[in-house]
Amino acid sequence: MKSYLAAAIQMTSRPDLDRNLTEAEELIDLAVRQGAELVCLPENFSFLGPEAEKIQQADAIAQKSEQFLKTIAQRFQIVILGGGFPIPAADNKVYNTALLIDRNGQELARYYKVHLFDVNVPDGNTYQESSTVMAGMELPPVYHSDTLGTLGLSVCYDVRFPELYRHLSKQGADVLFIPAAFTAYTGKDHWQTLIQARAIENTCYAIAPAQTGNHYGTRYTHGHALIVDPWGTVLADAGNKPGIAIAEIDPRRLSRVRSQMPSLNHRVF
């Protein structure tokens, strides 16, 4: 593993596939111009709209999103995470899918989100992700890279389930991906705290690309795409507008923190 720059992209995706992919490409270009070798897109990067529209367009969203990731990775010679987009499943549902692609446009890892956001938020909004999304049935994978470290996948609501990240940690994860479309109401109180907790307890870097702003109707997300180091220090925060958070992933820092706080070596269970 070497030292490198990673970028967490922040978007305001809407019910417009082509527009969203154009915005994503512009932000990826900005990140690459600043030296990023690993670029991470948020959950719902290619489409964030009413559930009925998502299901109607699922085939097109899936095909265009996957091709976009492969083309962009090759064009910019980066490793890229598509943090979540729908892929058709059975029973008129989709899998909320995170996809990791290498510089040659080849798939490295795929994860179907297992924890679905079925919550009545106190601001009056109700979310029933399971109405259109089929939960994945397997724990998320890690990908072992000689240059980028061991990369662990997750998606959004997963962040509230620490056992999932302990699984990634046990598989040797150095970097945790936490792409999200976190609600504005819960995000203001929980987002940064949860990201820092997952980084600290697993002594890993956490890269958390995010959605921000108003997407359609009353759907608002929190923003603040983050990159957090293994001590829990926020290295980069994208604020509440579309943009990027970019920071160094440093194996020397990783080793130093794990030496100073060797909690992973003290696990009993």
CA distance 140 to 198: 15
pLDDT of residue 125: 86
CA distance 23 to 104: 22
CA distance 93 to 131: 8
**Options 23, 64, 156, 204, the catalytic residue:** 156
Q: How many CB atoms lie within 10 A of CB 259?
A: 10
* pLDDT tens per residue across span 43-61: 999 999 999 999 999 999 9
The question of whether 51 is a catalytic residue gets the answer no
The question of whether 204 is a catalytic residue gets the answer no
Under DSSP, is residue 179 helix (H, G, I), strand (E, B) or coil? coil
Name the pLDDT band for 230 (thresholds 50, 70, 90). Answer: very high
8 A C-beta contact, residue 194 and residue 160: yes
pLDDT of residue 269: 85
* pLDDT tens per residue across span 165-215: 999 999 999 999 999 999 999 999 999 999 999 999 999 999 999 999 999
- Work out the average pLDDT over 221-233: 98
pLDDT of residue 6: 98
**Options 40, 43, 66, 70, the catalytic residue:** 43
Distances (CA, A) of 168 to 7, 72, 198, 219, 267: 21, 27, 11, 31, 14
**pTM of structure:** 0.98
The question of whether 40 is a catalytic residue gets the answer no
* pLDDT tens per residue across span 79-88: 999 999 999 9
- Work out the average pLDDT over 238-248: 98
